[in-house]
Structures are given as C-alpha cells and as structure tokens.
C-alpha cells in the first residue's frame, strides 16, 4: 500500500494558490484585456484548500503527542505570518492612501482594521482609510478564520467520537449533509458569499477527513473512485446543486495528491504557498492603484506582479515563517 507521506500536496497547494492569484488578478486590475482571467476557478481552489486541510489536519492531530503539541503546531503555522501581513498592510499601505500620514494614522479606522483583522474578524473592518478606494484591503483573508475554526473542530470531533470508526463516520456524514443544506440554501437564494462561510464550507473539510480515515481503501480503489468522482461532479454541475460534488472533489484532489510520483519533491526548497496566498491580494491592488496595469502592457505587468508575489512568498517562508516551525 502506498505510503501516506509520499504525496504531491506541495504541488497542489502551489497550483491552488496560483489559481486564486490569477482569478484575483483578473478581478482587481480593471483591465479589459485581463477579463478572461476572472474565469479562473477561484472558489473551487479555495474549497480544495479546505479539502487538503481536512486530510492533513486530521493526520496532524492523530500524530501529535498531546493536544498542547497539536495546538502549538497549528498556531505556529498560521498565526505569525497572518499577523505579519495584517501589520504590514496597516503600516505600509499608508504610502498609497489618499490621506496624509498624519490624517491616516490619526484615523480610528486604521486601528479598527488592525484590531479586528488581528483576531480573524476581517468582515468587521475590511478597509483602511483612503486605501484602494476604501475597498477590502485583503479579500483573501476571509478563509483564515474558517481554517482556524477547522483547527479547533478536529480535536472536538476526536473528543466526542474518539477513534471509534463507526460513530465517527456516522457523525461526519451527518455533519456533511447539514453543511450541504446550508451551502445549497444560501446559493439558491443568491447569497453565495454567505454559503461559503461556516458551516457551508465544512463539507469540503470533512471530505478530506473521511479520505484520511479510510486512506488504505482510498488508495486501493483510487482509480475507480476518480472516474466515479469526475462523472458525479459533472452531474452536479448540470443540475446546479452541490450534493455529492464536495466529497467527489475531495476524491479528485486526493487522487492527484497520490498520483504523478514525479511531483513528490516539489516542495523541497520550502513551503511558499501560504505567503503567496496571504500577500497576493494587496500586492495586486497596489499595482492597480499605481496605474501599472492601465499605463503599461497589462500582460507584462501581470508577469512582474506574479514575480513580486512569488518573491514575497519565498522571503516570508525563509525569513519569517520557518523560524516559528
């Protein structure tokens, strides 16, 4: 049976981060030439991140020597870089604000932004005064509060159901369908932004967890499951309803993670994905605010923007994130 440690998760995370970056590039540049980039499946990529988290976090908790060890590892992975991007945006974006430095730092909204974003409640203060037309500074951060909730949900699930596979499986399946009710209801009434919040996104996380708990069976039948998953997702798309597609997308993502063995060493130079993900949104907006996409070739500036985002992601990992791990 295939080893659980030999996988392509590093490749998948970089691919998903790139999909999100491309979609936001098309949405934030206001360049008609880049409109086609808005077709990048950002929502699917975000849900796929949740699937990967479900698989890896369940594994992390099961392998941790204690709850304290697990919480420390999870917090060290997500919180330091998150606080860094919030702090840097609060301070450095004063350079592109329409307000003077004194007016900017004298505005209570700056401190509201820093406070609420520091505790993962981005929706309470998404903007900074005079920055990006008072629109959201970092629209990518909404997923991090959900990720933190997932981190604390896993120990709770283990506490309630232990390692009894029967009860745990039943409970996860019930939670899966309750999550789907929430997700589909708000989708149907036109509130897709609400549907993606908890508990709507929980079904994707549970998909990753279920595959982890049945990893040997998944590997044994992965080729057949992959074909079934592709067909099922297609049917859900035709019917415009998410019923089995979350678990089926989970199968597709994990199939990629445990196929194509030549991608196993993709992350040997470091895990830059998180830095790329949390920094890309404000970087794109700074480029757009400075008129770089409008006044120069938008394709060339998109390439430059991508290089800057990758560079920041690499620097974030080597100079900051890695030190906490």
CB-count exposure of residue 155 (10 Å: 0-12, 13-18, 19+): middle
The per-type count for the chain, helices as H runs and strands as E runs, is 15, 0
Q: CA 254, CA 12: separation in Å to the nearest integer? A: 9
260-281 average pLDDT score: 86
Burial of 258 (0-12, 13-18, 19+ CB in 10 A): buried
pLDDT of residue 235: 87
CB 83 within 8 A of CB 138: no
Average pLDDT of the residues of the chain: 92
Tokens of 228: 């079934």
Structural tokens at position 96: 């592109």
pLDDT in tens, 12-36: 999 999 999 999 999 999 889 999 9
User: 168 falls in which pLDDT band (50, 70, 90)?
Assistant: confident
- Model confidence band, residue 164 (pLDDT cutoffs 50, 70, 90): low
Cα–Cα dist 249/30, whole Å: 31
In 3D space, the residue among 95, 73, 48, 66 whose CA is nearest the CA of residue 255 turns out to be 48
pLDDT category at 160 given cuts 50, 70, 90 is confident
Nearest to 24 by CA among 34, 11, 12: 34
**Would you put residue 271 in left (φ > 0), alpha (ψ -120 to 50) or beta?**
beta
Q: What is the pLDDT of residue 192?
A: 87
* Cβ–Cβ < 8 Å for 257, 64: no
Give the model confidence (pLDDT) of 178-207 as tens digits. Answer: 999 999 999 989 998 899 999 999 999 999
Residue burial 24-42, b: 16+ Cβ < 10 Å; e: rest? bbbbbbebeebeebeebeb
Contacts of 15 by beta carbon, 8 Å cutoff, 6+ apart: none
Domains of the chain, by residue range, sit at: 35-263
* In the predicted structure, residue 57 carries a pLDDT above the cut 60: yes
Of the candidates 275, 267, 254, the residue with the CA atom closest to the CA atom of residue 207: 254
Single out the residue of 171, 145, 163 nearest to residue 58, CA to CA.
163
Residue with the bigger pLDDT between 290 and 161: it is 290
| SS3 of residue 283 by DSSP | helix
């Amino acid at each position: 049976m295939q080893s659980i440690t030999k996988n392509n998760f590093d490749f998948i995370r970089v691919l998903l981060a790139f999909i999100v970056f491309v979609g936001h590039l098309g949405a934030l540049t206001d360049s008609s030439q880049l409109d086609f980039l808005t077709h990048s499946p950002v929502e699917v990529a975000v849900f796929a991140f949740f699937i990967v988290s479900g698989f890896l976090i369940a594994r992390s908790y099961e392998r941790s020597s204690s709850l304290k060890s697990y919480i420390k590892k999870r917090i060290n992975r997500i919180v330091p870089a998150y606080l860094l991007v919030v702090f840097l945006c609060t301070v450095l974006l004063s350079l592109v604000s329409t307000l003077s430095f004194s007016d900017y730092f004298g505005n209570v909204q700056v401190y509201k932004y820093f406070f609420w974003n520091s505790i993962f409640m981005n929706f309470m203060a998404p903007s900074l005064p005079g920055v990006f037309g008072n629109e959201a500074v970092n629209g990518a951060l909404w997923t991090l509060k959900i990720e933190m909730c997932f981190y604390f949900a896993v120990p709770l699930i283990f506490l309630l159901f232990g390692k009894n596979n029967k009860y745990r499986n039943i409970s996860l399946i019930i939670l899966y369908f309750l999550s789907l009710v929430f997700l589909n209801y708000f989708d149907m009434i036109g509130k897709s932004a609400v549907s993606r919040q908890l508990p709507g996104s929980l079904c994707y996380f549970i998909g990753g967890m279920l595959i982890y708990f049945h990893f040997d069976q998944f590997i044994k039948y992965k080729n057949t499951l992959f074909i079934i998953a592709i067909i099922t997702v297609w049917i859900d798309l035709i019917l415009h309803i998410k019923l089995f597609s979350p678990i089926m997308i989970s199968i597709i993502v994990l199939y990629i993670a445990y196929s194509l063995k030549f991608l196993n060493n993709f992350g040997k130079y470091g895990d830059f994905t998180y830095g790329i993900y949390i920094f890309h949104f404000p970087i794109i907006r700074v480029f757009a605010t400075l008129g770089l996409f409008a006044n120069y070739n938008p394709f060339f500036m998109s390439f430059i923007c991508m290089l800057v985002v990758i560079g920041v992601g690499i620097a974030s990992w080597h100079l900051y994130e890695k030190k906490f791990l």
